[in-house]
Structure 1
């Protein structure tokens, strides 16, 4: 009888230990799950794309050196082709030049003006050494973001760029909705000197992704979270107005949310690429 009681106690202890371990593991996974899936993508990218060395190199005067970047952007943007763009448009609505008027509606023409100069008509700036790159969020179906805004009585990071703070004030979340804010800059101190002015396109709109357009975990049923989106997510274009030439520039872009802790050694919510423009 004593042996049976001892065995029963051991079984109970083992079960309780497994339950505790399971709960702890579940908590850890729950905390890490948000960060595990969030990816900030950069386009264009090469076939040999690696996160550590995603180099974009070209010579503006040599069409052959940048035409493949132009083509890759066009191929990427084909998924956004539409004759009736949303307001504001989530991306350039056509990869067809304005000379091919039969392929572009009047609504699309208006949308393209918002996205200029990061449009096909202007070769996305590569022909004049003022390149555009496109950013979008991926792997967000299991993510519930916690955006920064002035409507919530929580501190805004002091290191957040001033222009983002100004947009929060000008477009408060209770009126305009929340955004996953985005900023790009030089990765190292020398890069900050060489990168030159950076503009976010469409100009005049918040540099970020409106949460109302993102299919995050709080907006889609659990059963379909593994299914790819039928509508492509919104984009942001980043225009480099005057990057220094003949210098390798390390560029870092990141998103700003309360639930993602910035870590320069992590890929979560952060993207990087290298820009080298020949004379």
Structure 2
């Protein structure tokens, strides 16, 4: 009888021990698993897109070498076409070049001017060797970003680019809302010397993604988190003003929030690609 009681006691202890371990593992996974989902996408990309070597190569003087990139961007942006763009516009509202004599609404014309030179009107800069790429966040339905802003007492990472620190002062959260900040630069020191100046488009807005437009876990019901967004996610355009030609330039873009920990060996919150302009 005593043996049976001891056996039952052991079983109960083992059961509750496993239950506690399971709860702890669930909590830990709940805290870290969402970070696995946060990805930063770059467009254009080829059909053979390879995260390790996603090369964008072209010769400005040869339309045949860059027209497929122009076409790929148009295909990507087609989901954003509208005659009544948001304010501010989340993307260029038309994939038609003005040379096509395409009629546009006044609101769309204004939006296209805000996104210049990252528009079809300017061939996204590829015809003059000053290309644009577009960034978009994906797999964020299980993520609640913790933003950096100047209204909260917190220390900024020492490696944060100065232009982002300046932007936080220039665009305070109480007036412009919280942002998931974005920066791009050369992946290595040699790339920094060759990448040239970078603009974030639309100009005149914070360089990043307005959090109120992101369908993060705090904005959608749990039952809908596995479903695709009905409204395309906002974009950030990155315009390379004067990248050096004839050299391979490794580019890295990343997002900045307090809960994303930068790791060059990880894909979380960062993306890389290569520019080669003949």
TM-score (normalised: structure 2): 0.98
Match of 2:30 in 1: 30
Whole-angstrom CA distance in 1 between matches of 2:243 and 2:229: 35
Note the C-alpha offset of 1:27: 2.0
Match of 2:221 in 1: 221
Match of 1:77 in 2: 77
Runs of 4+, deviation exceeding 4 Å: none
Match of 2:171 in 1: 171
Match of 1:104 in 2: 104
Whole-angstrom CA distance in 1 between matches of 2:244 and 2:67: 21
Whole-angstrom CA distance in 1 between matches of 2:236 and 2:61: 26
Q: Does the residue aligned with 1:99 lie in a helix, a strand or coil? A: helix
Question: How many residue pairs are counted as aligned between the two chains?
Answer: 278
1:96–1:103 Cα contact (<8 Å) kept: no
Whole-angstrom CA distance in 1 between matches of 2:4 and 2:264: 56
1:154 correspondence with 2:175: no
Note the C-alpha offset of 1:102: 4.3
TM-score (normalised: structure 1): 0.97
Whole-angstrom CA distance in 2 between matches of 1:246 and 1:176: 40
2:118–2:125 Cα contact (<8 Å) kept: yes
Once the two structures are superposed, the pairs formed by residues 47-126 of structure 1 within 5 Å of their partners are 47-126=47-126
1:249–1:275 Cα contact (<8 Å) kept: yes
Whole-angstrom CA distance in 1 between matches of 2:46 and 2:103: 28
In structure 2, the CA distance between the partners of 1:176 and 1:66, relative to structure 1 (3 Å rule), is same
Q: Which stretch of structure 1 is more off in the superposition, 157-166 or 214-223? A: 157-166
1:33–1:143 Cα contact (<8 Å) kept: no
Q: Which stretch of structure 1 is more off in the superposition, 100-109 or 166-175? A: 100-109
Whole-angstrom CA distance in 2 between matches of 1:101 and 1:55: 33
Q: Which stretch of structure 1 is more off in the superposition, 134-143 or 100-109? A: 100-109
The superposition leaves residues 144-169 of structure 1 with CA deviations (integer Å, 9 ceiling, x where unpaired) of: 00000011111111211111111111
Match of 2:193 in 1: 193
Whole-angstrom CA distance in 2 between matches of 1:100 and 1:246: 32
The superposition leaves residues 196-224 of structure 1 with CA deviations (integer Å, 9 ceiling, x where unpaired) of: 11111111111000001000000111111
5+ long unaligned stretches in structure 2: none
Whole-angstrom CA distance in 1 between matches of 2:170 and 2:55: 36
Whole-angstrom CA distance in 2 between matches of 1:37 and 1:103: 40
Whole-angstrom CA distance in 1 between matches of 2:275 and 2:99: 30
Q: Which stretch of structure 1 is more off in the superposition, 241-250 or 1-10? A: 1-10
Note the C-alpha offset of 1:188: 0.4
5+ long unaligned stretches in structure 1: none
Q: Does the residue aligned with 2:42 lie in a helix, a strand or coil? A: strand
Note the C-alpha offset of 1:19: 1.1
Kindly report the root-mean-square deviation, in angstroms, between the aligned alpha carbons of the 2 structures: 1.0
Whole-angstrom CA distance in 2 between matches of 1:153 and 1:107: 39
Whole-angstrom CA distance in 2 between matches of 1:21 and 1:248: 50
